[in-house]
A and B are shown apart, each in its own frame.
Chain A
Amino acid sequence: MRTFKKGGIHPPENKITADIGIEILPTPDIVTVLLSQHLGKPAKPVVKKKQKVKKGQLIAEADGFISAHIHATTSGMIKSIDERVSSPAGQFSQAVVIESDGQEEWADGLNIDIDYESLSREEKLRKIQDAGIVGMGGAGFPAHVKLNPPPEKKVDTFILNGAECEPFLTTDHRLMLEKPEEILKGLDIAASLFDKDIRVYIGIEANKADAIKIMEERTQGTRFEVVPLKAKFPQGCEKQLINTVTGRVLAEGQLPFDVGCLVHNVATIYAIYEAVAKNKPLIERVFTVSGMEINSRKNLRATLGTKITDIVDYCGGVTDEINQVIVGGPMMGKAQFTFDVPITKTTSGILFINNRGLERSRERACIRCGKCVEVCPQGLQPWIMTDLARLNRSELLPAYGLNDCMECGSCTFVCPANRDIVHWIKYAKVMNTRQKR
């Protein structure tokens, strides 16, 4: 079974929700749609307070090349445009608050069947852009930009990322089981934007044997090839996935198209299908609700802008032992400071946990065991980078590959001295980009 060469770890998988079918969470009365749900500049609002909107209507425009449109996720009335709303990233964002009228009425021309196969490449990209689709695995990079690399970068390999290597998360798993048709059509659409002889791979970790089976059956006789991957974290990170599937290696600073590859998440491809074949903008998504401190665990499909408080209520509340709420997976997610935060395009999961590690003792000195070096998938030296960052010598870190670090957390996972390695590395990156007097 294929896997990437360097490093990697095996955290407990905890795929508790793997067999639970996707449930639809009813749209709440109030949705809070953040205007920053993507990499790049936040979108600028094009609606006013008290304005009536239909479902899928454009409510904020992309600002610049790296940005994305934002749409009303339900029909109703604009209650307010708030300046400082808590975001799952731990900071604040502008948001449009919509009071739902309960009708779920789509705007004209949306949610209809489109004869997409006759569309040109530009038209397909236009639909993807109009729908405001961004990388839904967590990165949030605008999809229409990613699918349209500079002409000199020839893409000969497209990889569908069904790895889902983070513990607990089963979003992509359930999507592949329940919507294989739509996903493959979406993959077709994405691949059609490139040369006819592009190789298309579907990478799925071995712990999703049923998804591998379904995908293999459905891709019989097509040009798509399913590639089972050894379950190892961080298999789902772009660089590792490309290395496993194609053997190619990305040097520091290189992007996938520099080695002729393009990678997209399962949920993103599903959204692309809906955008091109049905004129549906990105207004809802599937995510996993898991962890031991929520009373029922589910895979939910919910409207963007639904608050975590609404989700907690729907799932029967949280236990008394809870001390952390994580958006994303336990390796690379974000701990939340409040329940009062809405889900966004990049929310792949919400975990309700009692992190006993918080009671653990403080950081000790590096005991030079070498485990961080062993597990780093990028072959870096986390031990020296942490020490230098702590001593305020962050400017020395890029020489050891600071910018190659994807902050996957493998090093911190294994460190017996309890050093907060990824946090220090993030600190060094911030220190290096600060303006010096």
Chain B
Amino acid sequence: MTTQTRQLTVSHAPFVRSGDSIEKVMYTVALALLPAIAAAIYYFGLRSLWVTLTSVISCIVFEFLINKIRKKDLTCFDGSAIVTGLLLSLNVPAGLPFWMVIFGSFAAIVIAKELFGGLGYNIFNPVLVARVFLLISFPAEMTAWVVPHSVDMVTAASPLGLLKTEGLSAIANISYWKLFMGEIGGSMGETSALAILIGALLLYAKGYIKLKIPLTFIATTFLFTGLFYLIDPSKYASPVFHLLSGGLMLGAFFMATDWVTSPMLARGQIIFGFGCGFLTGIIRLFGGYPEGVAFSILIMNALVPLLDKWDLNSIAKGRRAH
């Protein structure tokens, strides 16, 4: 072909890209969740794998259906539905009936994400909306924590549950090592702090995590529970116990850091992390529920647009001052 007949394409600069894409990011996050999934299978048995697969597949199917109904290009394979599915499974007990898992996927994808406009438009973390939706609808099944290594999916209260209903004496014998490794009752992904930290490290290495959020979240929870522990160690559990139990690790590193539902700028992120930590402390120590991470993150999600607006206004004001 000569230059006379060749047709060129005009686009706008820049003509190179870093190669990052939604797919790449999502599949990396999915990879970062593999240690937690492996831990779940190890502690709670093969059923964990089926729960995960059910969750992932139903998330993809629901997003596919919504894409078709809205007559838009398919987004169900961009990886975000897969990540939602993985995280949702990590937030439920390993023994949850499969139809409830599918219900949860519906709440996450259809109600919390697609009805708001799809990826990028949702205000609330879809996985947490689903978790809370399931918790309130099926309180018994959603707190039937499987005992690790149990043969018949025997269930028992989690450490936090024991703390709330029976007090400090009930958790006195649980070692920090067990809490850290995950050999305790809880949802599939929240028990093993180790598995979560490995995943979080991968995200940090790739630059895919808003680090200020988990750091302030965890620090605030530590300080809040630590304060009350100092005041009365016979009534309140130690802050280390609080860090390693319940959904704090999972929530701080994988749920509160969800890009779409967290603040864009530094000051907002710090306030967000602080708010999450503070509310988690209040609910755990003084609230009716034994665990407060999911609720605290959802409440702070509602404040994110305001936090962003405040940061932007400060920026605009700072520019005017020059």
Contacts and interface: CB of A to CB of B under 8 A. Distances in A.
Interface of A: 9, 11-12, 90, 167, 251-252, 308-309, 312, 318, 320, 322-326, 328, 330-340, 351, 353, 355, 357-358, 360-362, 364-371, 373, 381, 383-384, 399-401, 407, 409, 412-418, 420, 422-423, 426
Interface in B2-16: 3-4, 6, 8-16
A415 B14 CA distance: 12
Given A370-B265, A420-B12, 4 more contacts: A365-B121, A367-B119, A399-B320, A413-B17
A16 B3 CA distance: 24
A426 B12 contact: yes
B264 A355 contact: no
A309 B16 CA distance: 24
Contacts of A90: 10
Contacts of B260: 367-368
Given A336-B8, A337-B8, A381-B312, A324 B73 contact: no
Among A328, A407, A409, chain B packs the most CB atoms within 10 A around the CB of A409
Per CB-CB distance, the 10 closest pairs between chain A and chain B, nearest first, are: A365-B120, A409-B14, A339-B3, A423-B12, A416-B20, A399-B316, A331-B14, A330-B15, A335-B10, A330-B16
B10 A337 contact: yes
A413 B6 CA distance: 27
Nearest to B78: A364
A222 B24 CA distance: 52
A271 B205 CA distance: 47
A242 B18 CA distance: 26
Contact of A324 (B11, B117, B207, B208): B11
B21 A416 contact: yes
Contacts of B117: 365
Nearest to B75: A364
B22 interface: yes
A417 B312 contact: no
A330 B12 CA distance: 10
9 contacts: A11-B16, A324-B10, A330-B16, A332-B14, A351-B15, A364-B78, A381-B312, A399-B319, A413-B18
A413 B25 contact: no
A422 B15 contact: no
B119 A324 contact: no
Contact of A358 (B3, B11, B18): B11
A358 B14 CA distance: 12
A416 to B, nearest CB: 4
Q: Which of B6, B75, B78, B117 has the most CB of A within 10 A?
A: B6
B246 to A, nearest CB: 27
Nearest to A9: B18
B1 A416 contact: no
Contacts of B170: none
Contacts of B25: 367, 369, 416
A294 to B, nearest CB: 11
A423 B11 CA distance: 9
B30 to A, nearest CB: 15
A389 to B, nearest CB: 13
Given A357-B17, A371-B20, A381-B312, A365 B8 contact: no
A368 B264 contact: yes
- Chain B's interface size range is 35 or more
Given A357-B17, A426-B12, A417 B210 contact: no
A309 B12 contact: no
Given A339-B6, A399-B316, A333 B13 contact: yes
Given A339-B6, A364-B120, A371-B20, A252 B322 contact: yes
B227 interface: no
B8 A323 contact: yes
Nearest to B24: A416
Interface string B30-46: 00000000000000000
Contacts of A332: 13-14
B79 to A, nearest CB: 11
Nearest to B262: A368
A358 B22 contact: no
A322 B8 CA distance: 8
A284 B6 CA distance: 28
Contacts of A367: 22, 25, 119-120, 259-260
B315 interface: yes
Nearest to B7: A323
Nearest to B117: A365
Contacts of B9: 323-324, 335, 355, 358
B170 to A, nearest CB: 42
Contacts of A361: 73
B167 interface: no
Given A322-B6, A339-B6, A422-B14, A370 B119 contact: no
A312 B8 CA distance: 14
Nearest to B208: A369
A56 to B, nearest CB: 30
Of listed A338, A370, A414, A418, residue having the most chain B CB within 10 A: A370
A11 B15 CA distance: 11
Contacts of A309: 3-4
Contacts of B11: 324, 335, 355, 358
A150 to B, nearest CB: 21
A251 B322 contact: yes
Contacts of B118: 365
B21 A333 contact: no
Contacts of B265: 370, 373
A420 B24 CA distance: 18
A332 to B, nearest CB: 5
Contacts of A333: 13, 15
A417 B15 contact: no
Nearest to A233: B14
B8 A384 contact: no
Nearest to A251: B322
B3 A324 contact: no
B207 to A, nearest CB: 8
A260 B306 CA distance: 41
A309 B6 CA distance: 12
Given A167-B16, A330-B14, A400 B8 contact: no
Contact of B264 (A370, A409, A420): A370
Contacts of A330: 13-16
